[in-house]
Amino acid sequence: MSKTDDLIKAKRLVDLEKILKARQNEVKLYNYNKGPKKHEKQLEFHKSPFRGRWVFGGNRTGKTECGAVETVWWLRGIHPYRKITSAVHGWIVSPTNEVQRDVAQKKLLTYLPRQWIRNITMKSGSVIQPGLGVIDKIDVESACGGVSQVSFKTCEQGREQFQGASLDFIWFDEEPRREVFDECRMRLMDRLGSFWVTMTP
């Protein structure tokens, strides 16, 4: 076997691994809360018609799962309980970059199939392994047509960094500071957007 054949074989293996990983994420998303033991509180959250929703719970109770799945459904335009008719723009707000990377960002990437991602912009780290760095924004192909976008923000950036945008949704992963929360709610007014908060009280 030649060196070229070895390289071709190695590239095929890498491509197959990427496809399998993307399919695992898709299967995880489509199997979310569909087993014999359903999490009724999670379903209540997703089905709620309110524009503002809160999920309170201790560690390892599934609140971040709610936030991540809700975000993917909005980005992709496939929400089973809400009518989304076009590509959307939203924010994920975490207390710090480290919390973003280790919690909300990590969970979002486990439910977001790679084949739906059109582009990732990094604050730090490599786009080749986005989960190891800090993501700035992700562009996602919407089933409604066009491209949805989610940007990552942190409360440590200060209130001024939350001005000027018009958004469809905001996911607060953990309770934000009051001035950040108030500024973010203003970003939802133009589009009658929604927000959800997943937090440990």
Tokens 């190891």 locate to 132
Report pLDDT digits (tens) over 106-121: 999 999 988 899 999 9
User: Hunting for tokens 């609140």 — which residue is that?
Assistant: 63
Q: Which region holds residue 158: left if phi is over 0, alpha if psi is between -120 and 50, else beta?
A: left
**pLDDT tens digits along 130-171:** 888 999 999 999 999 999 999 999 999 888 888 888 999 999
69's enclosing H/E stretch is helix 63-76
Q: Are 196 and 53 in contact (CB under 8 A)?
A: yes
One digit per residue, the tens of pLDDT, for the chain of length 201 reads: 677 777 777 777 776 666 656 566 677 787 888 877 788 889 999 999 999 999 998 887 889 999 999 999 999 999 999 999 999 999 999 999 999 999 999 999 999 988 899 999 999 988 888 888 999 999 999 999 999 999 999 999 888 888 888 999 999 999 999 999 999 999 999 999 999 999 998
The structure tokens listed for 98 are 């480290």
Give Cβ neighbours of residue 128 (< 8 Å, ≥ 6 apart): none
Q: Which of 92, 142, 97 is nearest to 117 (CA)?
A: 142
Q: Look up the pTM and report it.
A: 0.85
Residues 71, 90 contacting (CB under 8 angstroms)? yes
CA distances from 78 to 25, 141, 149 (A): 15, 11, 15
Beta bridge pairs of residue 119: 139
Query: Which residues does 159 contact at the CB level (< 8 Å), separation at least 6?
Result: 177, 179, 180, 183
Q: How far apart are CA 187 and CA 68, in angstroms?
A: 20
| Strand positions, DSSP E, 26-127 | 52-56, 89-94, 117-124
Residue 66's closest CA among 75, 55, 74, 58?
55
